[in-house]
């Protein structure tokens, strides 16, 4: 691989996607309706919640192809750079490619320019990438990311939602996307308060995913048998940090205990019906 030099008018500047295009390495959009012809792996529910120190991002681990569960331990929450993260829902292949490109773009910009983009600049970059994927989205490969980060200039967590056209919508308190987002979003909406502590924010995120998994078949709940739990990360002044699996497992344990105590109607403890009582006698 030789060194890429450009004449001043052709120079892509700090734009990595532009550099890929000029180098002939840019991924191509599919030419036909892929989703209609074959099952495509899809990723589902992710949420982001602002709290006192920054933002919590969480995503379930299930990927589906039609009615099949194609992966049980897929990752949907990624660091974008030191102070921001990106979570994905939609067609898994293009979504992961977009995350990879986004990470590279932020790092490439930082290295070429000698300083990092602002959080707003990063959010806009991701919007452009989603819009760039519109061709693929029309072929059934839609990607809908969630972007959140700690704005070092403002000293607060901020979060952004997108639609398939690259529309960028900043949310003030929380955001969710994917097939279970309706349920997850409602749980977060009811539980959200200003200035949540870290533990409260994690509990809220975990509860939201649990309830989404309860009502949406494409969202995976905690897999107690295999020990697979949702991915949860915090983004604060200290940077992007994944919450350990042990801590998430503990929070799920607490949640399940609370839920079990509240509802007697979990499997095996269904209220007895008339015919059941008849059998018992």
The tokens of 94 are what?
A: 């293009």
Our answer to whether residue 236 is catalytic in this structure is no
16 binds other proteins (CB under 8 A): yes
At its nearest, how many Å lie between other proteins and the CB of residue 198?
23
29 binds other proteins (CB under 8 A): no
Alpha helices in the chain (DSSP H): 16-22, 34-37, 92-113, 119-132, 134-138, 181-191, 198-215, 245-262, 274-280
Let me know: does 63 contact 69? Beta carbons within 8 Å: yes
Rounded to 10 degrees, what is the CA torsion of 202, 208, 214, 219?
-90
User: Please, which of residues 100-159 interact with other proteins by CB under 8 A?
Assistant: 100, 104, 107-108, 111-112, 114
At its nearest, how many Å lie between other proteins and the CB of residue 1?
5
CA angle, residues 101, 103, 107, in degrees to nearest 5: 115
At its nearest, how many Å lie between other proteins and the CB of residue 2?
7
Is the CB of 19 or the CB of 141 nearer to other proteins? 19
5 binds other proteins (CB under 8 A): yes
Q: Which stretch binds other proteins (CB under 8 A): 16-24, 67-75, 214-222, 264-272?
A: 16-24
Is the CB of 104 or the CB of 255 nearer to other proteins? 104
Is the CB of 25 or the CB of 36 nearer to other proteins? 25
User: Please, which of residues 60-89 interact with other proteins by CB under 8 A?
Assistant: none
Is the CB of 17 or the CB of 144 nearer to other proteins? 17
CA 256, 260, 261, 262 dihedral sign is positive
What is the rounded distance in angstroms from the CA atom of residue 43 to the CA atom of residue 219? 8
1 binds other proteins (CB under 8 A): yes
Q: Which of 41, 44, 207, 277 is catalytic?
A: 44
Residue carrying the six token digits 């509802």: 263
8: Cβ–Cβ under 8 A, 6 or more apart, which residues?
Answer: none
CB atoms within 10 A of CB 37: 11
Q: Which stretch binds other proteins (CB under 8 A): 14-22, 29-37, 126-134, 154-162?
A: 14-22
Give catalytic residues, as residue numbers: 44
Interacting residues toward other proteins by CB under 8 A: 1-5, 16, 19-20, 23, 25, 100, 104, 107-108, 111-112, 114
């Amino acid at each position: 691989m030789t060194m890429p030099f450009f004449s001043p008018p052709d120079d892509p500047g700090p734009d990595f996607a532009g550099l890929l295009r000029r180098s002939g390495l840019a991924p191509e959009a599919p030419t036909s309706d892929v989703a209609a012809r074959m099952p495509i792996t899809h990723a589902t529910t992710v949420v982001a919640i602002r709290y006192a120190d920054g933002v919590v991002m969480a995503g379930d681990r299930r990927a589906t192809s039609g009615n099949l569960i194609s992966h049980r331990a897929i990752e949907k929450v990624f660091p974008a750079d030191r102070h921001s993260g990106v979570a994905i829902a939609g067609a898994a292949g293009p979504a992961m490619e977009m995350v990879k490109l986004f990470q590279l773009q932020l790092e490439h910009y930082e290295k070429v320019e000698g300083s990092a983009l602002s959080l707003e600049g990063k959010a806009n970059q991701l919007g452009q990438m989603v819009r760039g994927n519109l061709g693929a989205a029309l072929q059934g490969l839609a990607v809908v990311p969630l972007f959140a980060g700690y704005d070092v200039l403002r000293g607060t967590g901020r979060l952004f939602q997108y639609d398939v056209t690259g529309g960028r919508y900043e949310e003030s308190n929380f955001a969710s996307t994917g097939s279970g987002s309706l349920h997850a979003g409602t749980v977060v909406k009811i539980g959200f308060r200003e200035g949540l502590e870290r533990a409260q924010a994690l509990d809220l995120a975990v509860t939201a995913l649990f309830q989404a998994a309860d009502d949406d078949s494409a969202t995976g709940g905690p897999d107690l048998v295999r020990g697979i739990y949702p991915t949860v990360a915090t983004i604060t002044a200290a940077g992007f940090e994944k919450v350990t699996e042990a801590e998430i497992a503990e929070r799920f344990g607490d949640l399940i205990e609370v839920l079990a105590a509240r509802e007697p109607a979990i499997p095996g403890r269904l209220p007895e019906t008339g015919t059941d009582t008849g059998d018992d006698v």
